[in-house]
Structure 1
Protein backbone atom coordinates (compact mmCIF):
# COMPACT_ATOMS: atom_id res chain seq x y z
CA UNK A 1 0.00 0.00 0.00
CA UNK A 2 1.48 3.32 -1.05
CA UNK A 3 1.63 6.30 1.28
CA UNK A 4 -0.15 9.55 0.47
CA UNK A 5 2.49 12.29 0.51
CA UNK A 6 0.00 14.75 2.02
CA UNK A 7 -0.45 12.43 4.99
CA UNK A 8 3.26 11.61 5.20
CA UNK A 9 5.22 13.37 7.95
CA UNK A 10 8.95 13.30 7.06
CA UNK A 11 10.88 12.38 10.18
CA UNK A 12 13.44 9.78 11.29
CA UNK A 13 11.80 6.39 11.78
CA UNK A 14 11.51 2.78 10.67
CA UNK A 15 10.18 2.05 7.18
CA UNK A 16 7.64 -0.73 7.65
CA UNK A 17 7.16 -3.55 5.16
CA UNK A 18 3.44 -2.87 4.70
CA UNK A 19 3.97 0.36 2.77
CA UNK A 20 6.48 2.23 0.69
CA UNK A 21 7.72 5.77 0.89
CA UNK A 22 6.45 8.40 -1.55
CA UNK A 23 8.73 9.88 -4.16
CA UNK A 24 11.36 12.21 -2.68
CA UNK A 25 10.96 15.94 -3.13
CA UNK A 26 14.52 16.50 -4.38
CA UNK A 27 17.98 15.02 -4.95
CA UNK A 28 20.78 16.72 -3.02
CA UNK A 29 24.56 16.44 -2.82
CA UNK A 30 25.97 15.85 0.64
CA UNK A 31 29.62 15.72 1.65
CA UNK A 32 30.23 12.92 4.14
CA UNK A 33 32.92 10.40 5.10
CA UNK A 34 32.24 7.18 3.16
CA UNK A 35 33.55 3.82 4.39
CA UNK A 36 35.60 2.16 1.64
CA UNK A 37 36.79 -0.87 3.63
CA UNK A 38 36.60 -2.25 7.15
CA UNK A 39 37.82 -5.28 9.06
CA UNK A 40 37.61 -6.72 12.58
CA UNK A 41 40.33 -7.22 15.19
CA UNK A 42 39.25 -9.67 17.90
CA UNK A 43 41.53 -10.39 20.86
CA UNK A 44 41.39 -12.14 24.22
CA UNK A 45 44.54 -11.17 26.15
CA UNK A 46 46.00 -12.38 29.43
CA UNK A 47 49.10 -11.19 31.26
CA UNK A 48 52.36 -12.61 29.98
CA UNK A 49 55.96 -11.51 30.34
CA UNK A 50 58.11 -10.79 27.32
CA UNK A 51 57.06 -9.55 23.88
CA UNK A 52 53.33 -9.16 23.26
CA UNK A 53 51.55 -11.85 21.26
CA UNK A 54 48.02 -12.34 19.94
CA UNK A 55 47.03 -13.82 23.33
CA UNK A 56 49.34 -12.15 25.90
CA UNK A 57 50.33 -8.64 26.95
CA UNK A 58 52.89 -7.59 29.55
CA UNK A 59 50.89 -4.48 30.54
CA UNK A 60 47.87 -6.38 31.88
CA UNK A 61 49.47 -6.55 35.35
CA UNK A 62 49.08 -3.64 37.76
CA UNK A 63 51.75 -1.85 39.73
CA UNK A 64 52.21 -3.17 43.30
CA UNK A 65 49.00 -2.62 45.29
CA UNK A 66 48.60 -1.94 49.01
CA UNK A 67 46.50 -4.56 50.81
CA UNK A 68 43.96 -5.36 48.05
CA UNK A 69 41.13 -7.65 49.16
CA UNK A 70 38.64 -7.97 46.30
CA UNK A 71 38.48 -7.07 42.63
CA UNK A 72 35.23 -5.29 41.71
CA UNK A 73 35.34 -4.67 37.97
CA UNK A 74 36.70 -2.50 35.17
CA UNK A 75 35.27 0.60 33.48
CA UNK A 76 35.86 3.56 31.15
CA UNK A 77 37.37 1.63 28.25
CA UNK A 78 38.91 3.82 25.57
CA UNK A 79 40.96 3.28 22.41
CA UNK A 80 43.36 5.80 20.86
CA UNK A 81 45.07 5.45 17.50
CA UNK A 82 48.75 6.30 17.99
CA UNK A 83 50.06 5.83 14.45
CA UNK A 84 49.22 4.11 11.17
CA UNK A 85 51.80 3.17 8.55
CA UNK A 86 50.45 2.57 5.04
CA UNK A 87 52.54 0.45 2.67
CA UNK A 88 51.18 0.41 -0.93
CA UNK A 89 50.54 -2.91 -2.64
CA UNK A 90 52.81 -3.47 -5.63
CA UNK A 91 50.00 -4.82 -7.80
CA UNK A 92 47.35 -2.24 -6.84
CA UNK A 93 48.35 0.94 -4.98
CA UNK A 94 44.78 1.43 -3.72
CA UNK A 95 45.24 -1.68 -1.57
CA UNK A 96 47.65 -1.14 1.30
CA UNK A 97 49.30 -3.02 4.11
CA UNK A 98 48.38 -1.19 7.31
CA UNK A 99 50.46 -1.31 10.50
CA UNK A 100 48.37 0.08 13.36
CA UNK A 101 49.69 1.20 16.74
CA UNK A 102 46.99 1.96 19.28
CA UNK A 103 46.47 2.18 23.04
CA UNK A 104 43.58 0.75 25.07
CA UNK A 105 43.08 2.34 28.47
CA UNK A 106 40.69 1.53 31.32
CA UNK A 107 40.36 1.61 35.10
CA UNK A 108 40.17 -1.47 37.34
CA UNK A 109 38.45 -1.02 40.73
CA UNK A 110 39.27 -3.01 43.85
CA UNK A 111 38.59 -2.85 47.60
CA UNK A 112 41.52 -2.64 50.01
CA UNK A 113 41.82 -3.92 53.60
CA UNK A 114 40.16 -0.76 54.97
CA UNK A 115 37.07 -1.26 52.80
CA UNK A 116 37.97 1.69 50.55
CA UNK A 117 37.37 1.42 46.80
CA UNK A 118 40.52 2.22 44.83
CA UNK A 119 41.29 2.36 41.11
CA UNK A 120 44.24 1.33 38.98
CA UNK A 121 44.84 2.73 35.48
CA UNK A 122 45.82 0.31 32.72
CA UNK A 123 47.29 1.47 29.39
CA UNK A 124 47.73 -1.36 26.91
CA UNK A 125 49.85 -0.54 23.85
CA UNK A 126 49.22 -2.82 20.89
CA UNK A 127 50.40 -3.17 17.29
CA UNK A 128 48.43 -5.05 14.63
CA UNK A 129 49.03 -5.55 10.92
CA UNK A 130 46.31 -5.68 8.26
CA UNK A 131 47.75 -7.47 5.25
CA UNK A 132 45.46 -6.10 2.52
CA UNK A 133 43.17 -3.13 3.06
CA UNK A 134 41.33 -1.13 0.39
CA UNK A 135 42.23 2.43 1.33
CA UNK A 136 42.41 4.56 -1.86
CA UNK A 137 43.87 8.05 -1.94
CA UNK A 138 41.66 10.96 -2.93
CA UNK A 139 42.01 12.09 -6.54
CA UNK A 140 40.80 15.64 -5.88
CA UNK A 141 42.74 17.98 -3.63
CA UNK A 142 40.39 19.53 -1.07
CA UNK A 143 41.05 22.27 1.46
CA UNK A 144 38.68 24.21 3.69
CA UNK A 145 39.09 27.33 5.79
CA UNK A 146 36.99 28.76 8.59
CA UNK A 147 35.61 32.21 7.69
CA UNK A 148 36.07 33.64 11.19
CA UNK A 149 39.42 32.06 11.91
CA UNK A 150 42.56 30.51 10.52
CA UNK A 151 41.65 26.85 11.00
CA UNK A 152 42.61 25.29 7.69
CA UNK A 153 41.76 21.64 7.22
CA UNK A 154 42.74 19.22 4.47
CA UNK A 155 40.00 16.79 3.50
CA UNK A 156 41.76 15.00 0.64
CA UNK A 157 43.41 12.35 2.83
CA UNK A 158 41.80 9.09 3.83
CA UNK A 159 40.72 8.60 7.43
CA UNK A 160 41.54 5.54 9.52
CA UNK A 161 39.05 5.12 12.35
CA UNK A 162 38.92 2.64 15.23
CA UNK A 163 35.68 1.66 16.96
CA UNK A 164 35.95 -0.62 20.00
CA UNK A 165 33.81 -2.72 22.31
CA UNK A 166 35.85 -4.06 25.24
CA UNK A 167 35.39 -5.75 28.60
CA UNK A 168 37.52 -7.13 31.40
CA UNK A 169 36.64 -10.83 31.34
CA UNK A 170 38.38 -11.59 34.63
CA UNK A 171 40.53 -10.02 37.33
CA UNK A 172 42.82 -11.99 39.64
CA UNK A 173 44.61 -10.72 42.74
CA UNK A 174 47.90 -12.54 43.32
CA UNK A 175 51.51 -12.01 44.32
CA UNK A 176 54.33 -11.49 41.84
CA UNK A 177 57.80 -13.03 42.03
CA UNK A 178 58.87 -10.30 44.50
CA UNK A 179 55.95 -10.91 46.84
CA UNK A 180 54.02 -7.76 45.85
CA UNK A 181 50.23 -7.78 45.57
CA UNK A 182 49.21 -7.24 41.94
CA UNK A 183 46.05 -7.43 39.85
CA UNK A 184 46.09 -9.34 36.56
CA UNK A 185 43.33 -8.55 34.06
CA UNK A 186 42.01 -10.72 31.24
CA UNK A 187 40.98 -8.32 28.48
CA UNK A 188 38.63 -9.11 25.61
CA UNK A 189 37.93 -6.60 22.87
CA UNK A 190 36.59 -6.11 19.36
CA UNK A 191 37.95 -3.30 17.17
CA UNK A 192 36.49 -2.36 13.79
CA UNK A 193 39.10 -0.67 11.59
CA UNK A 194 37.54 1.61 8.97
CA UNK A 195 39.03 3.45 6.02
CA UNK A 196 36.97 6.55 5.25
CA UNK A 197 37.26 9.21 2.57
CA UNK A 198 35.26 12.43 2.35
CA UNK A 199 33.14 12.28 -0.83
CA UNK A 200 30.02 13.85 -2.32
CA UNK A 201 27.00 11.57 -2.56
CA UNK A 202 23.72 12.19 -4.38
CA UNK A 203 20.83 11.14 -2.15
CA UNK A 204 17.04 11.56 -2.27
CA UNK A 205 15.50 13.79 0.40
CA UNK A 206 12.04 14.84 1.53
CA UNK A 207 12.67 18.01 3.48
CA UNK A 208 14.64 19.44 6.36
CA UNK A 209 14.32 17.51 9.60
CA UNK A 210 11.20 18.75 11.40
CA UNK A 211 11.53 20.99 14.43
CA UNK A 212 10.17 19.24 17.54
CA UNK A 213 6.77 20.59 18.44
CA UNK A 214 6.87 19.56 22.08
CA UNK A 215 9.34 20.62 24.78
CA UNK A 216 11.70 18.05 26.25
CA UNK A 217 9.90 15.87 28.76
CA UNK A 218 10.81 16.18 32.40
CA UNK A 219 10.84 13.05 34.51
CA UNK A 220 8.71 13.42 37.61
CA UNK A 221 9.78 11.40 40.64
CA UNK A 222 7.47 8.45 41.23
CA UNK A 223 6.31 7.53 44.69
CA UNK A 224 8.33 4.56 45.96
CA UNK A 225 5.20 2.89 47.33
CA UNK A 226 3.56 3.13 43.90
CA UNK A 227 6.65 1.51 42.37
CA UNK A 228 6.43 -1.24 44.99
CA UNK A 229 2.73 -1.87 44.33
CA UNK A 230 3.27 -2.09 40.55
CA UNK A 231 6.30 -4.36 40.77
CA UNK A 232 5.84 -8.14 40.23
CA UNK A 233 6.07 -10.49 43.17
CA UNK A 234 9.71 -11.59 43.54
CA UNK A 235 10.91 -15.18 43.61
CA UNK A 236 10.96 -16.64 47.11
CA UNK A 237 13.33 -19.47 46.22
CA UNK A 238 16.26 -19.76 43.79
CA UNK A 239 16.02 -21.78 40.59
CA UNK A 240 16.79 -25.47 41.05
CA UNK A 241 19.64 -27.00 39.12
CA UNK A 242 18.03 -30.35 38.31
CA UNK A 243 18.71 -32.90 35.62
CA UNK A 244 15.98 -34.92 33.82
CA UNK A 245 15.07 -38.19 35.52
CA UNK A 246 14.91 -39.97 32.18
CA UNK A 247 17.08 -39.57 29.12
CA UNK A 248 15.70 -38.64 25.71
CA UNK A 249 16.56 -42.12 24.42
CA UNK A 250 14.04 -43.60 26.89
CA UNK A 251 11.30 -41.31 25.53
CA UNK A 252 12.11 -42.35 21.97
CA UNK A 253 11.90 -46.01 22.99
CA UNK A 254 8.41 -45.56 24.48
CA UNK A 255 7.17 -43.67 21.41
CA UNK A 256 8.31 -46.48 19.12
CA UNK A 257 6.47 -49.07 21.20
Structure 2
Protein backbone atom coordinates (compact mmCIF):
# COMPACT_ATOMS: atom_id res chain seq x y z
CA UNK A 1 0.00 0.00 0.00
CA UNK A 2 1.52 3.31 -1.04
CA UNK A 3 1.57 6.42 1.11
CA UNK A 4 -1.07 9.06 0.58
CA UNK A 5 1.19 12.08 0.05
CA UNK A 6 -1.56 14.52 0.97
CA UNK A 7 -1.85 12.98 4.44
CA UNK A 8 1.88 12.39 4.95
CA UNK A 9 3.47 14.63 7.60
CA UNK A 10 7.31 14.58 7.65
CA UNK A 11 8.40 13.65 11.18
CA UNK A 12 10.91 11.39 12.94
CA UNK A 13 9.89 7.74 12.78
CA UNK A 14 10.61 4.30 11.37
CA UNK A 15 10.53 3.83 7.60
CA UNK A 16 8.37 0.74 7.10
CA UNK A 17 7.98 -1.38 3.99
CA UNK A 18 4.34 -0.54 3.31
CA UNK A 19 5.19 2.33 1.03
CA UNK A 20 7.88 4.76 0.01
CA UNK A 21 8.67 8.24 1.21
CA UNK A 22 7.89 11.20 -1.03
CA UNK A 23 10.72 13.09 -2.68
CA UNK A 24 12.60 15.45 -0.34
CA UNK A 25 11.85 19.13 -0.62
CA UNK A 26 15.47 20.32 -0.62
CA UNK A 27 19.16 19.42 -0.44
CA UNK A 28 20.91 21.02 2.52
CA UNK A 29 24.44 21.26 3.92
CA UNK A 30 24.84 20.14 7.51
CA UNK A 31 27.95 20.18 9.67
CA UNK A 32 28.35 16.93 11.59
CA UNK A 33 31.09 14.78 13.16
CA UNK A 34 31.70 12.04 10.57
CA UNK A 35 33.19 8.71 11.68
CA UNK A 36 36.24 7.83 9.55
CA UNK A 37 37.24 4.66 11.42
CA UNK A 38 36.23 2.70 14.49
CA UNK A 39 37.27 -0.45 16.31
CA UNK A 40 36.15 -2.50 19.31
CA UNK A 41 38.01 -3.17 22.56
CA UNK A 42 36.59 -6.15 24.49
CA UNK A 43 37.98 -7.01 27.92
CA UNK A 44 37.14 -9.30 30.83
CA UNK A 45 39.31 -8.33 33.82
CA UNK A 46 39.87 -10.01 37.18
CA UNK A 47 41.96 -8.90 40.14
CA UNK A 48 45.63 -9.86 40.23
CA UNK A 49 48.65 -8.22 41.81
CA UNK A 50 51.37 -6.76 39.63
CA UNK A 51 51.31 -4.92 36.29
CA UNK A 52 48.07 -4.80 34.33
CA UNK A 53 47.57 -7.37 31.57
CA UNK A 54 44.86 -8.01 28.98
CA UNK A 55 42.94 -10.06 31.59
CA UNK A 56 43.98 -8.68 35.01
CA UNK A 57 44.01 -5.37 36.87
CA UNK A 58 45.33 -4.61 40.35
CA UNK A 59 42.75 -1.87 40.96
CA UNK A 60 39.81 -4.28 40.92
CA UNK A 61 40.31 -4.90 44.65
CA UNK A 62 38.73 -2.54 47.18
CA UNK A 63 40.32 -1.03 50.24
CA UNK A 64 39.80 -3.08 53.43
CA UNK A 65 36.11 -3.19 54.42
CA UNK A 66 35.58 -4.18 58.04
CA UNK A 67 31.86 -4.89 58.07
CA UNK A 68 30.97 -6.21 54.60
CA UNK A 69 28.45 -9.06 54.59
CA UNK A 70 27.18 -9.52 51.02
CA UNK A 71 27.89 -8.02 47.59
CA UNK A 72 24.83 -6.70 45.71
CA UNK A 73 25.77 -5.23 42.32
CA UNK A 74 27.72 -2.46 40.57
CA UNK A 75 26.42 0.70 38.92
CA UNK A 76 27.19 4.10 37.37
CA UNK A 77 29.91 2.96 34.97
CA UNK A 78 31.86 5.82 33.38
CA UNK A 79 34.79 6.02 30.97
CA UNK A 80 37.09 9.04 30.61
CA UNK A 81 39.88 9.46 28.08
CA UNK A 82 42.99 10.77 29.85
CA UNK A 83 45.50 11.02 27.01
CA UNK A 84 46.16 9.71 23.52
CA UNK A 85 49.32 9.35 21.45
CA UNK A 86 48.98 9.28 17.65
CA UNK A 87 52.01 7.85 15.86
CA UNK A 88 51.83 8.12 12.03
CA UNK A 89 52.64 4.90 10.20
CA UNK A 90 55.29 4.79 7.52
CA UNK A 91 53.97 4.94 3.98
CA UNK A 92 50.62 6.53 4.87
CA UNK A 93 50.52 9.14 7.66
CA UNK A 94 46.71 9.09 7.60
CA UNK A 95 46.94 5.75 9.42
CA UNK A 96 48.04 6.06 13.03
CA UNK A 97 49.15 3.84 15.86
CA UNK A 98 47.07 4.90 18.85
CA UNK A 99 48.08 4.60 22.50
CA UNK A 100 44.97 5.20 24.62
CA UNK A 101 45.09 5.98 28.34
CA UNK A 102 41.66 5.98 29.95
CA UNK A 103 39.99 5.38 33.30
CA UNK A 104 36.84 3.38 34.07
CA UNK A 105 34.99 4.24 37.27
CA UNK A 106 31.98 2.69 39.00
CA UNK A 107 30.37 2.01 42.38
CA UNK A 108 29.97 -1.43 43.97
CA UNK A 109 27.08 -1.78 46.43
CA UNK A 110 27.16 -4.19 49.35
CA UNK A 111 25.29 -5.02 52.57
CA UNK A 112 27.12 -4.43 55.86
CA UNK A 113 26.71 -6.31 59.14
CA UNK A 114 23.92 -3.94 60.21
CA UNK A 115 21.86 -4.65 57.07
CA UNK A 116 22.51 -1.21 55.56
CA UNK A 117 23.51 -0.68 51.92
CA UNK A 118 27.00 0.79 51.46
CA UNK A 119 29.06 1.65 48.37
CA UNK A 120 32.70 1.31 47.37
CA UNK A 121 34.18 3.45 44.58
CA UNK A 122 36.52 1.95 41.96
CA UNK A 123 38.76 3.63 39.39
CA UNK A 124 40.48 1.39 36.86
CA UNK A 125 43.30 2.97 34.85
CA UNK A 126 43.91 1.20 31.56
CA UNK A 127 46.18 1.53 28.52
CA UNK A 128 45.36 -0.01 25.14
CA UNK A 129 47.21 0.12 21.83
CA UNK A 130 45.54 0.11 18.42
CA UNK A 131 48.15 -0.82 15.84
CA UNK A 132 46.54 0.59 12.68
CA UNK A 133 43.74 3.15 12.75
CA UNK A 134 42.57 5.41 9.92
CA UNK A 135 42.57 8.85 11.51
CA UNK A 136 43.40 11.54 8.91
CA UNK A 137 44.11 15.12 9.85
CA UNK A 138 41.68 17.78 8.73
CA UNK A 139 42.77 19.67 5.61
CA UNK A 140 40.80 22.81 6.51
CA UNK A 141 41.74 24.86 9.57
CA UNK A 142 38.69 25.70 11.68
CA UNK A 143 38.08 28.87 13.66
CA UNK A 144 34.90 30.13 15.31
CA UNK A 145 33.67 33.41 16.77
CA UNK A 146 31.52 31.67 19.35
CA UNK A 147 32.88 31.76 22.88
CA UNK A 148 30.98 28.59 23.73
CA UNK A 149 32.89 26.47 21.22
CA UNK A 150 35.56 24.28 22.73
CA UNK A 151 38.67 24.78 20.64
CA UNK A 152 41.41 22.18 20.79
CA UNK A 153 44.75 21.63 19.10
CA UNK A 154 43.64 18.39 17.47
CA UNK A 155 41.74 18.61 14.20
CA UNK A 156 40.17 15.18 14.66
CA UNK A 157 38.22 13.80 17.57
CA UNK A 158 38.91 10.49 19.31
CA UNK A 159 35.75 9.31 21.04
CA UNK A 160 35.15 6.38 23.41
CA UNK A 161 31.75 4.74 23.88
CA UNK A 162 31.47 2.05 26.55
CA UNK A 163 29.08 -0.63 27.77
CA UNK A 164 30.32 -2.23 31.01
CA UNK A 165 29.10 -4.77 33.55
CA UNK A 166 30.39 -6.20 36.81
CA UNK A 167 30.28 -9.94 36.15
CA UNK A 168 31.04 -10.99 39.72
CA UNK A 169 31.87 -9.64 43.16
CA UNK A 170 33.78 -11.84 45.60
CA UNK A 171 34.43 -11.12 49.27
CA UNK A 172 37.87 -12.40 50.23
CA UNK A 173 40.81 -11.64 52.53
CA UNK A 174 44.00 -9.82 51.63
CA UNK A 175 47.46 -10.76 52.88
CA UNK A 176 46.87 -8.87 56.14
CA UNK A 177 43.64 -10.75 56.84
CA UNK A 178 41.34 -7.81 56.03
CA UNK A 179 38.07 -8.31 54.16
CA UNK A 180 38.15 -6.89 50.63
CA UNK A 181 35.83 -6.97 47.62
CA UNK A 182 37.23 -8.21 44.29
CA UNK A 183 35.27 -7.29 41.16
CA UNK A 184 35.28 -9.12 37.82
CA UNK A 185 34.74 -6.44 35.17
CA UNK A 186 33.61 -6.98 31.59
CA UNK A 187 33.36 -4.12 29.12
CA UNK A 188 33.12 -3.17 25.46
CA UNK A 189 34.61 0.10 24.21
CA UNK A 190 34.12 1.44 20.68
CA UNK A 191 36.96 3.77 19.66
CA UNK A 192 35.97 6.27 16.97
CA UNK A 193 37.91 8.79 14.91
CA UNK A 194 35.69 11.72 13.92
CA UNK A 195 36.16 14.84 11.82
CA UNK A 196 33.79 17.79 11.58
CA UNK A 197 32.67 17.88 7.93
CA UNK A 198 29.91 19.32 5.76
CA UNK A 199 27.57 16.78 4.20
CA UNK A 200 24.97 17.35 1.49
CA UNK A 201 21.81 15.49 2.48
CA UNK A 202 18.17 15.42 1.34
CA UNK A 203 15.70 17.04 3.71
CA UNK A 204 11.96 17.56 3.98
CA UNK A 205 11.67 20.57 6.24
CA UNK A 206 12.36 21.69 9.77
CA UNK A 207 11.32 19.21 12.44
CA UNK A 208 7.69 19.75 13.46
CA UNK A 209 6.80 21.28 16.80
CA UNK A 210 6.44 18.48 19.36
CA UNK A 211 3.00 17.72 20.67
CA UNK A 212 1.91 18.78 24.12
CA UNK A 213 2.62 16.55 27.07
CA UNK A 214 0.13 13.73 27.49
CA UNK A 215 -2.34 13.95 30.31
CA UNK A 216 -1.69 11.69 33.24
CA UNK A 217 -3.68 8.49 32.96
CA UNK A 218 -5.95 7.65 35.89
CA UNK A 219 -4.68 4.93 38.18
CA UNK A 220 -6.15 1.56 37.28
CA UNK A 221 -8.19 -0.33 39.83
CA UNK A 222 -6.14 -3.39 40.91
CA UNK A 223 -9.22 -5.62 41.07
CA UNK A 224 -10.15 -4.77 37.47
CA UNK A 225 -6.61 -5.60 36.37
CA UNK A 226 -6.84 -8.88 38.30
CA UNK A 227 -10.15 -9.82 36.65
CA UNK A 228 -8.65 -9.38 33.16
CA UNK A 229 -5.55 -11.43 33.91
CA UNK A 230 -5.45 -15.07 32.70
CA UNK A 231 -5.57 -17.92 35.18
CA UNK A 232 -1.97 -18.70 36.22
CA UNK A 233 -0.28 -22.08 36.04
CA UNK A 234 -0.71 -24.19 39.15
CA UNK A 235 2.27 -26.45 38.45
CA UNK A 236 5.71 -25.87 36.89
CA UNK A 237 6.65 -27.23 33.47
CA UNK A 238 7.90 -30.80 33.53
CA UNK A 239 11.34 -31.76 32.28
CA UNK A 240 10.48 -34.94 30.37
CA UNK A 241 12.00 -36.63 27.35
CA UNK A 242 9.99 -38.38 24.59
CA UNK A 243 9.29 -42.06 25.23
CA UNK A 244 9.81 -42.94 21.57
CA UNK A 245 12.13 -41.61 18.89
CA UNK A 246 10.52 -39.53 16.18
CA UNK A 247 9.92 -41.44 12.96
CA UNK A 248 11.81 -40.12 9.92
CA UNK A 249 9.45 -41.79 7.46
CA UNK A 250 11.72 -44.71 6.56
CA UNK A 251 10.89 -48.29 7.41
CA UNK A 252 13.46 -50.62 8.89
Same fold (TM over 0.5): yes
- SS of equivalent to 2:61: coil
- Superposition TM-score, scaled by structure 1 size: 0.89
**1:191 alignment partner in structure 2:** 189
User: How big is the alpha-carbon RMSD for the aligned residues of Structure 1 and Structure 2?
Assistant: 2.3
Query: 8 Å contact 1:142–1:155 — kept in the other structure?
Result: no
**1:105 alignment partner in structure 2:** 105
**2:57 equivalent to 1:60:** no
**2:92 equivalent to 1:95:** no
For structure 2, which runs of at least 5 residues remain unmatched after alignment?
A: none
Cα distance change of structure 1 residues 155 and 34 upon mapping to structure 2, 3 Å threshold: farther
State how far apart, in whole Å, the 2-side matches of 1:108 and 1:41 are.
23
**2:10 equivalent to 1:14:** no
How many residues align structurally? 252
State how far apart, in whole Å, the 2-side matches of 1:76 and 1:150 are.
28
From 187, 205, 213, the equivalent of 1:215 is 213
**1:161 alignment partner in structure 2:** 159
**2:241 alignment partner in structure 1:** 244
State how far apart, in whole Å, the 2-side matches of 1:191 and 1:111 are.
30
Query: 8 Å contact 1:165–1:189 — kept in the other structure?
Result: yes
State how far apart, in whole Å, the 2-side matches of 1:209 and 1:176 are.
59
Q: Could you list the per-position Cα deviations for residues 77-118 of structure 1 after superposition, in whole angstroms to 9, with x for gaps in the alignment?
A: 111111111001111011000000111111001101111111
Cα distance change of structure 1 residues 58 and 9 upon mapping to structure 2, 3 Å threshold: same
State how far apart, in whole Å, the 2-side matches of 1:49 and 1:256 are.
65
**1:116 alignment partner in structure 2:** 116
**Segment drifting more, 187-196 vs 3-12:** 3-12
